[in-house]
Amino acid sequence: MDTMQKKSRNHSKLQQNFMAAKQMSLTLLVDKERNKVIYAESGKDFVEILLSFLTLPIGTVIKLSGKQSKMGSLTMLYKSLEELDLEFPNTKACKDMLLHPKSSAEELYKNLPLIVNRGATYRTKYYICSLECCVGIHHLVSTVKDAPCLCGKKMGWRVPEEKGDLNADGEDGVFIEGKMRFMIRDDLKISVVSSWKSFALLKKFGVSDTSVLEEMNVNVGEEEVLHLLKRLLLSKTPLTDVFLGELNVDERVDLDLKVIALDSEEMVEPQTEKEICTEYSKKMIVKLYQNKLNKKVLYAEAGEEFADLLFSLLAFPLGSIVKCLGGRTSMGCLDNLYKSVEDLNFKDCMKYEEFKAMLLDPKLPPYFGTKNQLLQIEEQAPCPMAFSRVMRSIGLSTMNQKFPDAVTELGGSFVAGPALFMVTDELVVKPLSPMLGVSFLSNFNIPVSDIEEQIVWMGEKEAMSLLGASLISNSVLTDVFYHKRPRQMETKPNRRMFSAHDFI
pLDDT tens digits, 2-49: 544 544 444 444 344 434 446 788 999 999 999 999 999 998 889 999
8 A C-beta contact, residue 90 and residue 416: yes
Would you state the pLDDT for residue 443? 81
pLDDT at 158: 86
What is d(CA 338, CA 318) in angstroms, rounded to the nearest whole number?
9
pLDDT of residue 368: 93
Q: How far apart are CA 368 and CA 364, in angstroms?
A: 6
pLDDT attached to residue 162: 61
pLDDT value, residue 440: 78
Q: Using an 8 Å Cβ cutoff, are 247 and 239 in contact? A: no
The answer to whether the beta carbons of residues 229 and 53 sit under 8 Å apart is yes
The pLDDT value recorded for residue 384 is 55
Q: For residues 155 and 397, what is the distance between their CA atoms, to the nearest angstrom? A: 14
* C-alpha–C-alpha distance, residues 288 and 302, integer Å: 9
* Burial zone of 466 (CB within 10 Å; 0-12 exposed, 13-18 middle, 19+ buried): buried
Return the SS3 of 430.
strand
How high is the pLDDT of residue 449? 84
Q: Which residues pair with 429 in a beta bridge?
A: 423
Segment (H or E) for 217:
strand 213-220
Q: 451: part of which helix (H) or strand (E)? A: strand 451-458
* DSSP 8-state secondary structure symbol assigned to residue 211: G
The kind and range of the H/E element at 321 are helix 318-324
Tell me how far apart the alpha carbons of residues 332 and 266 are, in angstroms, rounded to a whole number.
Answer: 32
The per-residue pLDDT for 486 is: 33
Is residue 462 within a helix (H) or strand (E), and if so which, with residue range? helix 460-472
DSSP tag of 376: -
Q: DSSP class of residue 58?
A: H
Q: In 250-279, which positions are buried (b, 16+ CB within 10 angstroms) versus exposed (e)?
A: eeeeebebebbbbebeeeeeeeeeeebeee
What integer pLDDT is reported at residue 288 of this predicted model? Answer: 93
State which residues of the chain have pLDDT below 50.
1, 3-4, 6-21, 118-119, 164-170, 247-281, 484-504
Distance, CA of 90 to CA of 381 (rounded, Å): 21
Degrees (nearest 5) of the Cα angle 493, 498, 502? 120
Contact 419, 304 (CB under 8 A): yes
